[in-house]
Amino acid sequence: MSWFAANQLAFCLVLKMNLQIQLNDFYIALTALTAIILFLFGLDNFSKEIQRISGERFRKFLTKSTKIPIVGVIIGAIVTSIIQSSSATSVITIGLVNAGVITFRNSLGIIFGANIGTTITGQLVALKLTAFAPAFIILGFFLSLFRSRYSFIGKSIFYFGFVFFSLNLISSTLTPLQSDERVLSILTNHQNIFLTILAGALFTAVVQSSSVTTGLAVILTQNGIMSLENAIPIIMGANIGTTVTALFAMINMDISAKKTAFSHFLFNIVGTVLFLPIVPFVPQWFSQFSPAIALANFHLTFNILASALFTLLLNPFAQIVEKLVSGEHHLDFPTIVFPKFKEDSEYSNIDEFLGKSLVTIFDFLKKSYSLTTLSIETNYKNIYDAVLKRNSYMNFLKNEFMTFFSQALNSCKGLSDSQQIITAMNRYEYLYQIQDSIEDLTQVKEQVNEMYIEIESDVLLQVREISGRTLTAFDSLADKLKNPKTTNNNVKKELKDLQDSINEANKDLLKMILDSEQKHSGVLKHFLTHSQRIKDKLSMLFELI
């Protein structure tokens, strides 16, 4: 063989080897990316299933844990460890603050505790408990397949197994990297700690889950691909990156909600900075453990100590946040006293409380209706935002009262008490139905916004006429609720005038529909439909007074 032919053959072999290496690298990267996507999919659906099952109980669970900070921390940790998403916990907490259900300061305990809950993923991976994933997948599948009393949790169990099955898949996919000198030189050699924290934060912000970052870091450490010194800053950065979801969620929210979201971000930033000096000593302190378990234990210890420290300094921390995020509190309504049932309560006291609350909530609904119709007539975003906030608060309040009525009925000691509670329930039911119609009117505004509809003057006049009549009827009925012994004539007259206005508007609507040039008859049609329902509910409530 000639020298030239030999060189050609060597060149072809080197080229083939390089191509094979590149193909292998591409295959590993593609498979790893697929496994990570499956992990994200499983984690997201598991979180959604848990929240779906728990429903309003989940939110109520959070609200009841806010009064004592340390209890809030514990509850935040437990809830996050169950739903496997500190982002979900923080976003829901911010929503409750925005709705006026809990205060900014009371939300901080939950925010601090959420970080502790995220450590469960790392612990399970480090202890290699993910090997049981197939059992959960199979059990969840069959529970969902067959109808039984436990079928409702089938999907949750399935996705729980799916999450850790995906982690196993990631681990097996990355195994070839154990012998890759290029990767090992990057991940095992000591890297700049600040750049590593930034990398962990950015990756977590992109995938929207610190559990993904933590799980990957533990797997890489477990397989000997990443050094413990490099993995620690990555999971510290993950704590910072997970706050991005909350920061986005706060954009259109009340100033208190913005304070809660910012406190989550500041808590993780400051916590990371405070613990930076001890990072070089961590490998020595956890030397008795394997690298993966040492990383998981550090993650747990770091978050527990940070949460404990900030809980002790909660008041000064809250004051700092309030100074940094200044602004007026835009909650435009006084909070309504939530009902609390006590076994030894006298039913006369219960009846008095329900009577006062009925008047308060009715006034609340009147204001909500006024703002809703005003938002339809105008393009002021702050009015529309106030409506959404009030709707959210009212829905939470509705669930609180429904729970109260259920407890009261179960504790009734006689027919008289039962009738008393049922009568009050019926009155409140009409309040809820009025709220439902107000929310339907809010959807009319949403339709106007989405379709970029510029409401014409003749339609606006009809809206103003009906809304004015409805508010007058609200006023008359409110007076009747406050003074039941007053004459009924005024209320009857206002309700009749309102019905007459709706009837006249419906006649005009028919003309608009027949007019091919009139394009906004749909807005008036929906407005009249919901206005009629509100009028009917006002009439029915009047009959029960």
Q: Which pLDDT score is estimated for 515? A: 59
The pLDDT assigned to 165 comes to 78
User: Above 60 in pLDDT, residue 8?
Assistant: no
Lowest pLDDT segment from 44-58, 185-199, 365-379, 435-449: 44-58
List, for residues 511-528, the tens digit of each pLDDT value. 666 555 555 566 778 888
Show the 3-state SS of 186-213. Answer: HHCCCCCHHHHHHHHHHHHHHHCCHHHH
DSSP at 313: T
Q: How many CB atoms lie within 10 A of CB 197?
A: 24
3 phi-psi bin (left φ>0, alpha ψ -120 to 50, beta other):
alpha
Alpha carbon distance, N-terminus to C-terminus of the chain: 109
pLDDT exceeds 50 at position 125: yes
Lowest mean pLDDT among 27-36, 260-269, 361-370: 27-36
Q: Is the pLDDT of residue 311 over 60?
A: yes
Average pLDDT on 240-253 reads: 71
Token couple for 513: 């529909």
pLDDT digits (tens, 9 = 90+) for 391-422: 888 887 887 788 788 877 777 776 777 787 88
What CA–CA distance (Å, rounded) separates 162 from 136? 8
User: Is the confidence at residue 300, as pLDDT, over 70?
Assistant: yes
Q: Which two tokens stand for residue 262?
A: 């910012």
Query: Which residues contact residue 180 at a Cβ distance below 8 angstroms, ignoring those fewer than 6 apart?
Result: none
For residue 286, the model assigns a pLDDT of 78
Residue 25 has pLDDT above 70, yes or no: no
Q: In this predicted structure, what is the pLDDT of residue 323?
A: 83
Integer CA distances (angstroms), 281 to 197, 287, 294, 456, 467, in order = 17, 10, 12, 71, 69
Q: How many CB atoms lie within 10 A of CB 259?
A: 28
Residue 314's contacts (CB-CB under 8 Å, 6 or more residues apart) are 69, 105, 108, 109
Query: Is 62's pLDDT higher than 70?
Result: no
Residue recorded with tokens 């009827």 = 473
- Binned at pLDDT 50, 70 and 90, residue 486 comes out as confident
Mean pLDDT of 358-362: 88
Q: Is the pLDDT of residue 156 over 70?
A: yes
- Residues 290-312, mean pLDDT to the nearest whole number: 86
| pLDDT at position 57 over 60 | yes
pLDDT at 187: 47
Domains and CATH numbers, the chain: 13-324 (no CATH), 347-544 (1.20.58.220)
Q: Which of 17-31, 135-149, 174-188, 312-326 has the highest mean pLDDT?
A: 312-326
**Confidence band of 4 (pLDDT split at 50, 70, 90):** very low
- Which of the four pLDDT bands, split at 50, 70 and 90, describes residue 48? low
Q: What is the pLDDT of residue 501?
A: 86
Please tell me the distance from the alpha carbon of residue 69 to that of residue 20, in angstroms, as a whole number.
58
Can you give the pLDDT at residue 61? 67
- pLDDT higher for 430 or 129? 430
Residue 534 above 50 pLDDT? yes
DSSP string, 288-336: TS-HHHHHHHHHHHHHHHHHHHHHHTHHHHHHHHHHHS-------SPPP
Q: Which residues contact 149 (CB under 8 A, 6 or more apart)?
A: none
pLDDT number for residue 5? 45
pLDDT of residue 15: 44
Helix (H, G, I), strand (E, B) or coil at 175: helix
Mean pLDDT of 255-284: 84
pLDDT recorded at residue 10 = 43
- When mean pLDDT is compared over 202-206, 213-217, 498-502, the highest value belongs to 498-502
- Of 224 and 268, more confident: 268
User: Which pLDDT band holds residue 347 (cuts at 50, 70, 90)?
Assistant: low
What's the whole-number mean pLDDT along residues 522-538? Answer: 84
The one-letter amino acid code at 352 reads E
CA distance 304 to 298: 10
Alpha helices by DSSP H, 55-152: 56-63, 69-83, 86-98, 104-117, 119-126, 133-145
Q: Of 18-27, 306-315, 336-345, which range is least confident? A: 18-27
Confidence of residue 189 (pLDDT cuts 50, 70, 90): low
CB atoms inside a 10 Å sphere around CB 36 = 19
Q: Report yes or no: 144 and 161 within 8 Å, Cβ to Cβ.
A: no
* 281-319 b/e (C-beta count within 10 Å ≥ 16 → b): ebbeebeeeebbbbbbbbbbebbbebbebbbeebeebbe
Q: Rounded to the nearest 5 degrees, what angle is found at the Cα of 452, between the Cα atoms of 446 and 454?
A: 105
Between CA 252 and CA 187 the distance in angstroms is 40
- Cβ-based burial of 107 (10 A; exposed 0-12, middle 13-18, buried ≥19): buried
Which residues does 124 contact at the CB level (< 8 Å), separation at least 6?
A: 130, 164
| Highest mean pLDDT: which range of 135-139, 189-193, 444-448, 463-467 | 463-467
**Count of CB atoms within 10 A of residue 440's CB?**
17
Fill in the amino acid letter for 283.
P
Mean pLDDT over the full length of the chain: 76
Q: Tell which wins on pLDDT, 472 or 215.
A: 472
**430 pLDDT more than 70:** yes
Within 13 A of 253's CA, how many CA atoms are on the CB side? 26
Q: Which residue has the higher pLDDT, 3 or 503?
A: 503
53-74 average pLDDT score? 69
367 or 351, which is more confident:
367
User: Helix (H) and strand (E) counts for the chain?
Assistant: 23, 0
How many Å apart are CA 297 and CA 122, to the nearest integer?
Answer: 8
Q: Report the percent of the chain where pLDDT is more than 90.
A: 0
- Looking at residue 512, its pLDDT comes to 67
